[in-house]
Chain A
Amino acid sequence: MYVADSRGTPAAATDAARARSGRRSAIAPTVFALGTVSLITDVSSEMVTAVLPLYLVTGLGLSPLGFGLLDGVYNGFSALVRLVGGHLADRGGRHKAVAVLGYGLSALCKPLLLLASSLPMIGAVLAADRTGKGLRTAPRDALISLASAPEARGRAFGVHRAMDTAGAMLGPLTAFLILRQAAEGYDAVFTVSFCVAALGVLVLLLFVPSRIPLAGPAGRAPTAGTPSAGAPAEAAPHPSLKAALALLHVRPVRQLTLAALLLGLATVSDSFVYLLLQHRLGVPDRWFALLPLGTAAAFLLLAVPLGRLADKVGRWQVFLGGHAALLLAYVLLLTGWQSPALPFLTLALHGGFYAATDGVLMAAAAGSVPAELRSSGLALIQTGQALARFACSIAFGAAWTAWGDRTALGTAATVLTACAVGAFLLRPSNSPKEARP
């Protein structure tokens, strides 16, 4: 829900300049605007997510079992869409246009839910919704990075992710309040969700600048020791598909992608983490639905502090540290201690993992990808990570089937340790420290 997918934000060079020249603490207005768009959009989408099971079961009288089988197809498709979105955004610097398209498509899906009455139709609407999400993620993150001073990108992404997660937590509450006023008022939930989403698109249209000057130092601020110093981006590549793929020849990009991929291979999906919390730590049934809230709360609280930390000590270090938190969470789950504090600690570590990795990875990536290819580059890294996580889910499910949950988790912990060591070694010694101010 709140996790791997980041929502995109546009940026303006003036913002970056302002953030750089002014007080260090200033967050670019564009980042706030994009954070607001994400907050509003997440309220809208999480309203729907929260009532969807209830709507299917009690509203439509459907048995949604086995519905998840299509998830694999959606995941592959949305990876493709993300790459396409990234590429389209880079052509002519149309980050905002592609983001509007993505947000708009998701908004239009809300009223369509009112018309869909069968599982295949609802599946199609959800797929379109996800397509919108896939399209907008990379351009939005590119805009955040372009609008922020390089040395403060970690914090900018942290602010955005915190706002985004706040929306994700408010959405279910909004849906609940509507159903409290109107029992079985799913149509009202979907209509309100659409109105909220439309508001998000409007804020994006009105308050996020559309033109980002590509030339000059705005995108790649020449501050001493900035991350872009290591990227051979001086040639200002033309944003073609070929150029996007050629990014993989750029050493820091390749290393970052590989590292994200490696670590993604050992990142067990949220659903499994919550199942394991129940299986291994004996979390009572009635708390099950609240477990994602625990992760989200920790993500919300830690996103900004860890983003700032990443700006100070290095994004790469914080990114690896986040995986160490995840490893610790695995270890806690492995112990199987039935202490009342343990589930809280595990969820805190899980949320901390997202806070230390989700936006921080984008901040790190932005330093290695030239401004002209920013969306494509971010999309590439996000896609690699998402596909690796998906592969991990499949493998983890298979391991659970073959060996049981404990051994599967033990294996995941071992793989994570190995991947973390691998990722650590990947880090080139000559690469610059991330944006040391």
Chain B
Amino acid sequence: MTLRNKILVLVAALAVLAGVATASLLHAAGRADKKNQIQAGGPHVSTGTVSLASGSERRIVFRNMAWGPHRDELATVAATAPAGPRTASGVKCLRFYAAAGTGICLQAERGAVTDSYRAVVLDAGLKERAHYGLPGIPTRARVSPSGRWVAWTVFVGGDSYAGTNFSTRTAVLDTRTGRLTSSLEDFTATLDGKEHHAADTNFWGVTFAADDRHFYATMATGGHTYLVRGDLAARTVTSLHTNVECPSLSPDGTRIVYKKRVLGLPADAPWRLYALDLATMRETALAEPRSVDDQAVWQDGNTVAYALAGDYGTDLYTVPADGTGKPRRLLTAGLAPAYLG
């Protein structure tokens, strides 16, 4: 082939490939645009004031995933009518939690050459109190019952060719002093009674106790996951139990609901919700038969809420925390709920 012909072939192929690339881009852009249109039969969402303050009517504040102009905004519904109309705040979050007038919102931030993520601490009026850059993709967020402590977890991943190595980074923030521990890996860890430090140690899914000193979380190392109890004053974590992920402490501090990796389930959907009695260490399977990949929240002393994949992002469900009953759908197109009021 002469050079001229080679160049002709190249130019022709370039045109075809550019056409395919452009078509796929336009297709994806059109699809993305559709999500900004309100879907028929979806929940009614209107702009209004969303407050994180306690003392008023019992309500749920969550990330609204219903298509339309308020997608991904924090929205609120009355706890008594979760399927009712939603009030959207204008504040967009990927992950969210709130307690006692303090909110934590993990959000994407558009940059010139790449997107980044940040954690924003919100006051009761959803005004920013402080923000922190995040090293990866947000996955979990929690606030202590008093509103003083905040924790979040992000995925950090893929720094090698066709990289498949992912890790998590969990940070804890004291909103009173502003002291940020950017990784729980800085805490002294005790595993099965022995001090433990390993490069493969990962933490995720912090849940705070009411005493503003203790917390529980998942620690993973050597291919196993552990429930650890942490001490914010002593800056230590100690293992209590194995095969526990994303713990959620009950309001009375006696039980933990978590996702447990159950043998024999498919690799893609390996988890079931379990409750652990911290006094007896007895495990009870909850009545949700599907695989749950979420950190549950307690609706009250008896029931937990969690997200499962739905037609529009995720839907929220509830199930009793004692193994009885049946799962019930709480609301559609929502994620990351916090019960307030």
Residues of A with C-beta under 8 A to B182: 284-285
Residues of B with C-beta under 8 A to A130: 161-162
CB atoms of B161 and A45 under 8 A apart:
yes
- With known contacts A53-B137, A191-B21, A400-B199, A68–B166 Cβ distance under 8 A: yes
Q: Is B139 an interface residue (CB 8 A)?
A: yes
Q: Is A248 an interface residue (CB 8 A)?
A: no
CB atoms of B135 and A288 under 8 A apart:
yes
Binary interface encoding of chain A residues 378-416 relative to chain B, with 1 for a CB under 8 A from any of its CBs, else 0: 000000000000000000110011001100100000000
Q: Is B104 an interface residue (CB 8 A)?
A: no
In the complex, A45 Cα to B163 Cα: how many Å?
11
CB atoms of A187 and B24 under 8 A apart:
yes
Residues of A with C-beta under 8 A to B137: 53-54, 57-58
Q: Is A417 an interface residue (CB 8 A)?
A: no
The listed residue (B116, B162, B200) touching A49 by CB distance below 8 A is: B162
Residues of B with C-beta under 8 A to A401: 196-200
In the complex, A292 Cα to B223 Cα: how many Å?
26
Q: Is A241 an interface residue (CB 8 A)?
A: no
In the complex, A68 Cα to B132 Cα: how many Å?
28
**Interface set, chain A 10-63, CB cutoff 8 A to B:** 45, 48-50, 52-54, 57-58, 61-63
**Interface set, chain A 188-234, CB cutoff 8 A to B:** 188, 191-192, 195-196, 198-199, 202-203, 206-207
Q: Which residue of A lies closest to B14 (CB)?
A: A199
Which of the segments B28-36, B227-235, B325-333 contacts the partner chain?
A: B28-36
Which of the segments B48-56, B152-160, B206-214 contacts the partner chain?
A: B152-160
In the complex, A405 Cα to B136 Cα: how many Å?
22
- With known contacts A195-B21, A284-B133, A53–B166 Cβ distance under 8 A: yes
Binary interface encoding of chain A residues 250-290 relative to chain B, with 1 for a CB under 8 A from any of its CBs, else 0: 00000000000000000001111011000000001111110
Q: Is A342 an interface residue (CB 8 A)?
A: no
Main secondary structure of the interface of B (DSSP, over half): mixed
CB atoms of A53 and B157 under 8 A apart:
yes
CB atoms of A1 and B160 under 8 A apart:
yes
Interface centre among B162, B197, B199, B200 (most CB of A within 10 A): B162
Q: Which residue of A lies closest to B162 (CB)?
A: A126
Which of the segments B5-13, B38-46, B73-81, B278-286 contacts the partner chain?
A: B5-13
- With known contacts A272-B199, A397-B198, A292–B115 Cβ distance under 8 A: no
Residues of A with C-beta under 8 A to B10: 202-203, 206
Q: Is B113 an interface residue (CB 8 A)?
A: yes
CB atoms of A69 and B135 under 8 A apart:
no
Report the minimum CB–CB distance from B46 to chain A (whole Å): 23
Interface centre among B29, B171, B220 (most CB of A within 10 A): B29
Q: Which residue of B lies closest to A114 (CB)?
A: B24
CB atoms of B198 and A286 under 8 A apart:
no
CB atoms of B25 and A286 under 8 A apart:
no
Report the minimum CB–CB distance from A79 to chain B (whole Å): 14
Residues of A with C-beta under 8 A to B83: none
CB atoms of A61 and B309 under 8 A apart:
yes
Interface centre among B114, B133, B161, B171 (most CB of A within 10 A): B161
Q: Is B27 an interface residue (CB 8 A)?
A: yes
Q: Is A120 an interface residue (CB 8 A)?
A: yes
Residues of A with C-beta under 8 A to B29: 181-182, 185, 188
Q: Is A341 an interface residue (CB 8 A)?
A: no
Report the minimum CB–CB distance from A60 to chain B (whole Å): 9
Residues of B with C-beta under 8 A to A198: 13, 17
- With known contacts A61-B293, A66-B223, A123-B164, A206–B1 Cβ distance under 8 A: yes
CB atoms of A286 and B133 under 8 A apart:
yes
In the complex, A198 Cα to B15 Cα: how many Å?
12
How extensive is the interface on chain A, given as a class?
35 or more
Report the minimum CB–CB distance from B302 to chain A (whole Å): 28
In the complex, A48 Cα to B162 Cα: how many Å?
8
Q: Is B265 an interface residue (CB 8 A)?
A: no
Q: Which residue of A lies closest to B24 (CB)?
A: A191
Residues of B with C-beta under 8 A to A48: 162
In the complex, A289 Cα to B115 Cα: how many Å?
11
Report the minimum CB–CB distance from A161 to chain B (whole Å): 14
Residues of A with C-beta under 8 A to B115: 176, 179
Q: Which residue of B lies closest to A197 (CB)?
A: B17
CB atoms of B268 and A119 under 8 A apart:
yes
The listed residue (A52, A61, A69, A181) touching B158 by CB distance below 8 A is: A52
Q: Is A425 an interface residue (CB 8 A)?
A: no
In the complex, A68 Cα to B168 Cα: how many Å?
13
CB atoms of B157 and A64 under 8 A apart:
yes
The listed residue (A206, A289, A396, A404) touching B136 by CB distance below 8 A is: A289
Q: Is A118 an interface residue (CB 8 A)?
A: yes
CB atoms of A49 and B28 under 8 A apart:
no
CB atoms of B24 and A69 under 8 A apart:
no
In the complex, A64 Cα to B116 Cα: how many Å?
19
- With known contacts A57-B155, A203-B10, A270-B160, A65–B166 Cβ distance under 8 A: yes
Report the minimum CB–CB distance from A339 to chain B (whole Å): 19
CB atoms of A270 and B21 under 8 A apart:
no
Report the minimum CB–CB distance from A352 to chain B (whole Å): 19
Report the minimum CB–CB distance from A176 to chain B (whole Å): 5
In the complex, A291 Cα to B136 Cα: how many Å?
13
Interface centre among B13, B202, B204 (most CB of A within 10 A): B13
CB atoms of B31 and A275 under 8 A apart:
no
In the complex, A292 Cα to B160 Cα: how many Å?
9
Residues of B with C-beta under 8 A to A123: 164
Report the minimum CB–CB distance from B106 to chain A (whole Å): 12
Report the minimum CB–CB distance from B26 to chain A (whole Å): 8
CB atoms of B32 and A57 under 8 A apart:
no
Given contacts A178-B28, A184-B28, 19 further A-B contacts (CB under 8 A): A1-B163, A49-B160, A50-B158, A52-B157, A53-B158, A54-B137, A61-B309, A120-B267, A178-B25, A182-B29, A182-B31, A185-B25, A185-B31, A187-B24, A195-B20, A203-B10, A271-B160, A287-B135, A289-B156
A-B contact pairs, 16 of them (CB 8 A): A1-B159, A65-B220, A70-B164, A173-B114, A182-B28, A184-B32, A185-B25, A187-B27, A188-B25, A199-B14, A206-B1, A285-B134, A286-B135, A400-B199, A401-B199, A405-B197
Interface residues of chain A, those whose CB is within 8 Å of chain B, are: 1, 3, 5, 45, 48-50, 52-54, 57-58, 61-71, 74, 118-120, 123, 126, 129-130, 133, 172-173, 176, 178-185, 187-188, 191-192, 195-196, 198-199, 202-203, 206-207, 269-272, 274-275, 284-289, 291-292, 396-397, 400-401, 404-405, 408
